[in-house]
Structure 1
Amino acid sequence: MFTSILILISSLALLIISGHGLVKGSVSIASRFHISSLVIGMTIVAFGTSAPELIVSLRAAIDGHPDIAVGNVVGSNIANVALVLGLTAIVIALPVVSKRLFSDWLFMMISYFFLWLFFQSGTIERYQGVIMVVAIIIFTWRAIKTSMSRNKTEEEKVDKAYPVWLAIVIVLVACAGLAWGADLLVKSASDIASSLGVSERVISVTVVAFGTSVPELTASLVAAFKKETEISVGNIVGSNLFNILVVLGITSVIHPIPVDYMAFRIDLLWMAILGILLMLVIYPFKANLTAWKADRNIRILADLRNGRLSFWGGLMLFLLYIAYIALLF
């Protein structure tokens, strides 16, 4: 089992490095074609940060490990909210900077509901995957259109760190690294689960999910230590949305995923509760209620720009993650 643990750690490192390389290389290529950083961020970078989850889930589904394919996504969504946001908010309070966070959060919760419905059938079928892929296309198109209409006069600089030929090489090597890392991760996680006598579900929602969430955790903590308070919970909401609609959507289109609803029902409940709790701890109740009393405009109640994830909110989320892991074992 020691060898499997070493392979698992190495595969996680390979996935992190490859995912970072994919994002950097893709952004460099896109910048050469004068694509704005706004569009790059909402498409290439968003997809690139979800690439480790996608490759791991796809490989696991094809290799006959559906619990890893599903648990990777569900566990990653739990870790993103409770671990990543929790630890980051403990370091520095996170203000809400997105004007459309409420609608994004609502879209995320709706995706949770449909995922729960899809689990009921026992298999995430191809047509259900198509629904998820179409949904993320609509969401991304809407997000880009809305943001571009608000930033027509702003010219943003984009990353041009690499020449095109080098960027292409980096992307190709990163894709190979993702594929290889995912293969090693799935096999080693399965071996460890067998050796410890625990289910693949437990390994997937803990070790595998943590590994694929490491890029978000690292980026958030580094930025927090640099006092870059523009970090927003909106980034994690978007990541969770992509995890479900892109990762499980594309995976199930390529290979339908058998799911054991009874095995994952508690994890799905945790994911939903943490999603609701996130909104409750950041919502600016006092500011919005005061503004609504003065204006009586219902839209004010969906404005989260006065909200923030405080130290105490982050601590509560982090402790809940510890409790979740403890209950698993």
Structure 2
Amino acid sequence: MLMVVSAILLAAIGGASFLKGMLAVSSWLRLPKLLVATTIAAFATSGPEMAVSSLAAIAGKPGIGLGDALGSNVVNLGLILGIALLFGPMAICVAQCRRDFMLALIVPPLTFILALDGMLSRVEGMLFLTLFTLWLILVVKQAIGHRRHTPADPAIQSGIARAWILLVVGMAALLVAGKLFVSGASSIALAMGLHPYVIGATVVAVGTSMPELVTVVLARWRGHDDVGLGTILGSNLFNGLAVIGVAATIHPIAVPFGEVAPALAFGVITLLLLFSRRSTISPWRGALLIAAYSAFVLFTAAGAL
């Protein structure tokens, strides 16, 4: 319990530092906050999933990384965005989010199709990495185009060293907080007699998603809706393409279809609940997202019995 409390306190401090540094870095790079959140913030906050997946694949157990990545995506959309929306309507720019949203919607069905034979091979892992690389190229082209039309601010340039320090220190604190949370909460869950897979898909997934949780909630609290949404979409693309792609490339993944099916299904359901043609997402969708996440946990627990 002490580990869990310590993790929450450390996450709050680290999250404030990370968000402040990221906003300053986005101004220094002369890029929209949404774009920086979708890339730098999302990749940084998905560091735990990449570490878990890669180490598990090297150890010959890539399925652990698969479960963590898929579970984290449902946590990101169902639990984290669900909580964030309870603060009030979330402003979005539909035009800027459309590309990332559509790709995030395609990834779970693609994973489902490739996993029908019970295996994600190295070739299929490289396919995921290729899609991720193509998406990243589009993002970089967008960033270059935006910088050409945005003048530099001398005042921001002078404080960039402090901004990077805040970003790095904040991210380090979030990663340590996630590790503490996983260790503490896993011990509590094991003591309660929960199934190991349930612990992995829920407790571990929440722990490795703690950087996203803190970043999104703080961003909403301080009025940076685009940062919260961008972080979640980018993180889900990173998990679904890069994390799983790296794991499968290192070691083919045997896919226990009955266990991963709920994560894939609820990954699509939560994305569809998030979809909006308007410039805001209503708070009532937050309640639906949390309900969907709760259903995912119940289905996961039932499948492990």
In the alignment, the residues of structure 1 paired with residue 90 and residue 141 of structure 2 have an alpha-carbon distance, to the nearest angstrom, of 26
Unaligned runs of 5+ in 2: none
Equivalent residue, structure 2, for 1:77: 73
- Give the superposed CA RMSD: 4.0
In the alignment, the residues of structure 2 paired with residue 22 and residue 223 of structure 1 have an alpha-carbon distance, to the nearest angstrom, of 10
In the alignment, the residues of structure 1 paired with residue 246 and residue 92 of structure 2 have an alpha-carbon distance, to the nearest angstrom, of 30
Equivalent residue, structure 1, for 2:117: 121
Equivalent residue, structure 1, for 2:105: 109
In the alignment, the residues of structure 2 paired with residue 12 and residue 60 of structure 1 have an alpha-carbon distance, to the nearest angstrom, of 26
Unaligned runs of 5+ in 1: 284-305
Asked whether the equivalents of residues 74 and 266 of structure 2 are also in contact (C-alpha less than 8 Å), the reply is: yes
Asked whether the equivalents of residues 77 and 289 of structure 2 are also in contact (C-alpha less than 8 Å), the reply is: yes
Q: 1:86 aligned to 2:88? A: no
In the alignment, the residues of structure 1 paired with residue 11 and residue 61 of structure 2 have an alpha-carbon distance, to the nearest angstrom, of 19
Q: Deviations over 1:90-118 (max 9, x none)?
A: 10211112523222211112111221123
Q: 1:315 aligned to 2:287? A: yes
**1:13 CA displacement:** 8.6
Asked whether the equivalents of residues 42 and 232 of structure 2 are also in contact (C-alpha less than 8 Å), the reply is: no
Asked whether the equivalents of residues 95 and 231 of structure 1 are also in contact (C-alpha less than 8 Å), the reply is: no
In the alignment, the residues of structure 2 paired with residue 25 and residue 226 of structure 1 have an alpha-carbon distance, to the nearest angstrom, of 14
Equivalent residue, structure 2, for 1:206: 202
Superposition pairs for residues 40-51 of structure 1, below 5 Å?
Answer: 43-51=39-47
Letter of the 1:95 counterpart: A
* Aligned length in residues: 292
TM, length-normalised to structure 1: 0.71
Equivalent residue, structure 1, for 2:142: 146
Letter of the 2:197 counterpart: R
In the alignment, the residues of structure 1 paired with residue 99 and residue 230 of structure 2 have an alpha-carbon distance, to the nearest angstrom, of 10
Q: 1:162 aligned to 2:122? A: no
Q: 1:324 aligned to 2:296? A: yes
In the alignment, the residues of structure 2 paired with residue 9 and residue 115 of structure 1 have an alpha-carbon distance, to the nearest angstrom, of 36
**1:120 CA displacement:** 2.0
In the alignment, the residues of structure 2 paired with residue 51 and residue 317 of structure 1 have an alpha-carbon distance, to the nearest angstrom, of 24
Superposition pairs for residues 21-40 of structure 1, below 5 Å?
Answer: 37=31
In the alignment, the residues of structure 1 paired with residue 150 and residue 94 of structure 2 have an alpha-carbon distance, to the nearest angstrom, of 17
Superposition pairs for residues 1-329 of structure 1, below 5 Å?
Answer: 37=31, 43-97=39-93, 99-155=95-151, 160-162=159-161, 174=172, 196-231=192-227, 233-279=229-275, 282-283=276-277, 306-329=278-301
Change (3 A) 1:183 1:210: closer
Secondary structure (helix, strand or coil) at the match of 1:91 reads coil
Equivalent residue, structure 2, for 1:301: none
Asked whether the equivalents of residues 93 and 310 of structure 1 are also in contact (C-alpha less than 8 Å), the reply is: yes
Asked whether the equivalents of residues 114 and 124 of structure 2 are also in contact (C-alpha less than 8 Å), the reply is: yes
Change (3 A) 1:99 1:223: same
Letter of the 1:112 counterpart: P
Change (3 A) 1:193 1:253: farther
Shifted more, 59-68 versus 109-118: the winner is: 59-68
Mark the structure with the bigger radius of gyration. Answer: 1
Secondary structure (helix, strand or coil) at the match of 1:92 reads coil
**1:128 CA displacement:** 1.4
**1:87 CA displacement:** 1.0
**1:277 CA displacement:** 2.2
Change (3 A) 1:18 1:313: closer
Percent identity at matched positions?
30
